[in-house]
């Protein structure tokens, strides 16, 4: 298991012939890394789910599916939320359940409209805890401008759950002329991050493990649809949006590089890593590029619009810390590299599993 949890496999990716270093077919059972949003997750989706019920929309591999139905373009997405503990500095399972799906919809440019909420409750859980989760969902839904219109509740015996699991799905409307998906990254695109990275993962880890890193680290969980709308007011021609949750910025950028057949080059000195996150990562041996965010996005924007989009982001409450952190390049297709402060470059692999399980 130690290998699966390591942030990097240590070997450079050969993008032309990439294979998982530990194919799941060789592992007869589910391991934590299958839920990590990295290579093991991708193999599970490819070998099991896509093999069983694959189709072109599912194969699009965006944060949400975009489909035509009854003459309108809808975004549709789902996430199960199993974060532990349920409450952490800056948020709770309820916030993630709403913001996670709202943000997945926003990453296709959609205006989120409504959510479903399905609960799997563990027998013996205090109802006051369920109530706190529901209240957080209500407040988060109001803040995000969405309504929860349908739901379900199941109860499992004590020892078969973990208090509360919540699965949300959501529907949004994609505006005319918007076509945002990982395949559209192009060499020359500016890579913009909307703010400081790594806060959510470190916040959850600190309370779970009882660690302190000087200043308290607070999760960045937040809805991003309004920020995306402000960006689309500048130009509809945004190529890619992604919220770097599990697997962090490293996983999101690797997925985009592979889907588009381009390369990504990051500037290490431009990456907005808060001091407390850097300290915690140093102490724990983690790489901030692999730590989860729940209120950040990464955008690929054509160079002609990059400065204007950046300015619109910085003028928005959810984007005050936005920065251009890299560029899309034609070299090393399918691969992400970072130009270090010392003048060298290093490869940023797709993570295999997950450094921090059950982070969302």
DSSP-assigned letters across all residues of 215-260: SPP-------HHHHHHHHHH-S---EEE---TTHHHHHHHHHHHHH
Smallest gap from Cβ 114 to a second copy, in A, equals: 6
Would you call 303 helix, strand, or coil by DSSP? helix
Smallest gap from Cβ 176 to a second copy, in A, equals: 11
User: Using an 8 Å Cβ cutoff, are 99 and 144 in contact?
Assistant: yes
Would you call 63 helix, strand, or coil by DSSP? coil
130 touching a second copy, by CB under 8 A: yes
153 touching a second copy, by CB under 8 A: yes
Site for a second copy in 336-355 (CB under 8 A): none
113 touching a second copy, by CB under 8 A: yes
With CB under 8 A as the rule, give the number of residues binding a second copy: 84
87 touching a second copy, by CB under 8 A: no
Q: Which residues pair with 166 in a beta bridge?
A: 81, 119
Query: Between 34 and 305, whose beta carbon lies closer to a second copy?
Result: 34
Query: Between 105 and 329, whose beta carbon lies closer to a second copy?
Result: 105
Out of 18, 21, 134, 347, name the contact with a second copy by CB under 8 A. Answer: 134
126 touching a second copy, by CB under 8 A: yes
User: Using an 8 Å Cβ cutoff, are 165 and 129 in contact?
Assistant: no
Alpha-carbon span 236 to 34, nearest angstrom: 35
Alpha-carbon span 360 to 198, nearest angstrom: 13
Q: Give the closest residue to 106 by CA, choosing from 150, 136, 62.
A: 62
333 touching a second copy, by CB under 8 A: no
Site for a second copy in 157-216 (CB under 8 A): 157, 159-162, 165, 167, 169, 171, 173
3 touching a second copy, by CB under 8 A: no
Smallest gap from Cβ 331 to a second copy, in A, equals: 32
Phi, psi of 217 (to 5 degrees): -100, 130
Alpha-carbon span 240 to 244, nearest angstrom: 12
234 touching a second copy, by CB under 8 A: no
Binding mask 51-80 for a second copy (x = CB under 8 A): xxx-x-xx-----xx-x-xxxxxx-xxxxx
Binding mask 13-42 for a second copy (x = CB under 8 A): -----------xx-xxxxxxxxxx----x-
Query: Between 75 and 253, whose beta carbon lies closer to a second copy?
Result: 75
Alpha-carbon span 319 to 310, nearest angstrom: 9
């Amino acid at each position: 298991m130690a290998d699966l949890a390591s942030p990097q496999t240590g070997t450079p990716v050969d993008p032309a012939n990439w294979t998982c270093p530990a194919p799941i077919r060789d592992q007869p059972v589910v391991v934590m890394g299958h839920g990590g949003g990295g290579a093991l997750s991708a193999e599970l989706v490819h070998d099991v789910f896509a093999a069983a019920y694959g189709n072109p929309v599912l194969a699009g591999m965006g944060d949400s599916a975009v489909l035509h139905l009854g003459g309108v373009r809808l975004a549709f997405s789902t996430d199960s939320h199993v974060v532990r503990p349920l409450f952490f500095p800056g948020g709770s399972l309820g916030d993630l359940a709403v913001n996670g799906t709202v943000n997945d919809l926003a990453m296709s440019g959609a205006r989120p409209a409504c959510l479903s909420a399905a609960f799997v409750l563990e027998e013996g859980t205090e109802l006051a805890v369920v109530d706190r989760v529901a209240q957080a969902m209500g407040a988060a839904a109001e803040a995000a401008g969405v309504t929860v219109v349908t739901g379900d509740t199941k109860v499992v015996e004590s020892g078969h759950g973990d208090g509360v699991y919540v699965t949300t799905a959501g529907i949004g409307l994609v505006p005319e002329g918007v076509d945002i998906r990982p395949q559209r990254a192009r060499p020359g695109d500016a890579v913009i991050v909307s703010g400081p990275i790594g806060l959510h993962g470190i916040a959850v880890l600190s309370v779970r493990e009882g660690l302190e890193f000087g200043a308290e680290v607070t999760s960045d969980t937040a809805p991003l649809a309004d920020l995306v709308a402000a960006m689309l007011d500048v130009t509809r021609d945004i190529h890619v949006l992604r919220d770097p949750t599990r697997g962090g910025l490293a996983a999101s950028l690797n997925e985009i590089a592979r889907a588009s057949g381009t390369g990504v080059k990051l500037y290490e000195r431009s990456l907005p890593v808060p001091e407390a996150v850097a300290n915690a990562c140093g102490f724990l041996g983690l790489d901030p590029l692999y730590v989860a965010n729940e209120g950040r996005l990464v955008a690929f924007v054509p160079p002609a619009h990059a400065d204007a989009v950046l300015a619109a982001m910085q003028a928005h409450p959810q984007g005050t810390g936005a920065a251009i952190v890299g560029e899309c390049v034609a070299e090393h297709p399918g691969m992400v590299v970072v130009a270090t402060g010392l003048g060298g470059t290093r490869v940023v692999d797709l993570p295999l599993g997950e450094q921090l399980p059950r982070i969302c």
